[in-house]
A and B are shown apart, each in its own frame.
Chain A
Amino acid sequence: MSQEEPTLPDDEDDKRLMALVAAGDDDALRLLVHRHHARLVGYLRGEVGSQATAEELAMEVFIRLHRAASRWRPEAKLSTYLIHIAHNLVLNEWRRRGRKPTTALEFAAEPGDSSQQSARRVAELDEAFQRAIAQLPPEQRTAILLVVQQELPYEEIAEIMGVPVSSVKTWIHRARSRLRELLKDFYGNE
């Protein structure tokens, strides 16, 4: 994995590239993937708790995007559409597994930590949060990931999840409460 940040998505350019993808231009597809994959993999990793599965699902998202390219209408942002496909794949993944992810989330300490102690603390915090997030009901986890991690507005989350905005707000509120409850002991030591 590299830490380089791809260029920021440009909605208008995304539309132009999608038209090229629909015409079979693989270079346009390559550019779109380069733009959007990092956030997609980040979101999917938060959902399924595994880098390998996240990459596999992200690959499937782009394959589906390619198949649907000729039918795609730019009514929403491409990034919203991609996360919508990813969300549906995550739902399938949960059904396939029987329930939500149970495996421990992978964690890698960020480079640049000033000391080993602070790195350890960050690692502990991350692990505690990730474990708590993995215990949330699927819809609460998706909502909290999209609002906090991906910084999406409620309306966009509602569109992605195919529910009213009020449901999204409720799930986010419940997710925060549940996370506070799950991390009560951890925060008691602060």
Chain B
Amino acid sequence: MDNPQHKAFDQELAATLSRGRSVAVTGFADRVVGAVRADRRRRVVIRWSSVATAAAACLVAVLTLSVPSEEALNRQTFALFAHDESAQFADLLGASADLSLLSPAVEKSSVAEVLNAPGS
């Protein structure tokens, strides 16, 4: 640093850089305030839109979870079939219906008429 050439150089460097030390810009503060207000509005919109998105996601989740899946429906159906007494009753009814088909298609009144007929 004691070298006179170095000293001259350092002085020149300091002089050159100090010329650009402070660069005042007219109206800069107003521009910043305008940009900050816009940024503030943007962040409010972003905050509300994220709240709305989260609420919508919750709603969809609730709706989706309240509807049983296809597999669950199948399981429920099989379980109902396994424990359904009405189905067993229906089976019995079906059997009695089959038996009724086998019974003779005659009426009591018609038999009496045959027995009481003249010449019988």
A and B are interacting partners: yes
Residues in chain B near residue A6, CB distance under 8 A: 24
Q: Which of B5, B20, B28, B32 contacts A45 (CB 8 A)?
A: B20
Binds A, one of B35-43, B46-54, B55-63, B109-117: B35-43
- Contact (A1, B9) CB under 8 Å given A30-B30, A126-B16, A129-B17: no
Contact with A along B14-28 (1 / 0, CB 8 A): 101111111111101
Q: Are B29 and A33 in contact, with the CB atoms below 8 A?
A: yes
Most buried by B among A4, A51, A149: A149
Report how far A110 CA is from B22 CA in the complex, Å: 13
Residue B91 at the A interface, CB < 8 A?
Answer: no
C-alpha spacing A117/B119, complex, angstroms: 161
CB of B39 within 8 A of CB of A26, answer: no
**Overall SS of chain A's interface:** helix
Q: Among B8, B10, B33, B40, point to the contact of A33 (Cβ < 8 A).
A: B33
* CB neighbours of B108 from chain A (8 A): none
Contact A1 B23 (CB under 8 A): yes
Chain A residues within 8 Å of B83, by CB: none
Count, A-B residue pairs, CB within 8 A: 108
Residues of B within 8 A of A29 (CB): 29, 32-33, 36
Known: A6-B24, A39-B21. A148 touches B32 (CB 8 A): no
Given contacts A63-B32, A183-B9, contact A149 B26 (CB under 8 A): no
Q: Which residue of B lies closest to A51 (CB)?
A: B23
Across the interface, name the chain A residue whose C-beta is closest to B14.
Answer: A148
Establish whether residues B25 and A46, one from each chain, have CB atoms under 8 Å apart when the complex forms: no
> Which residues of chain A from 49 to 81 have a CB within 8 Å of any chain B CB?
51, 54-55, 58-59, 62-63, 66-67
- In the complex, whether A5 has a CB less than 8 A from a CB of chain B is yes
Pick from A55, A133, A150, A179: contact of B28, CB below 8 A: A55
12 contacting pairs across A/B (C-beta < 8 A)? A1-B25, A5-B22, A29-B36, A34-B29, A42-B22, A66-B36, A66-B39, A125-B12, A126-B16, A144-B13, A144-B17, A145-B17
Query: A144-B17, A148-B13 given. 18 additional CB < 8 A pairs?
Result: A1-B26, A6-B24, A26-B37, A29-B32, A30-B29, A37-B24, A42-B22, A54-B23, A55-B28, A59-B31, A59-B32, A59-B35, A126-B19, A129-B16, A149-B17, A149-B20, A183-B9, A190-B8
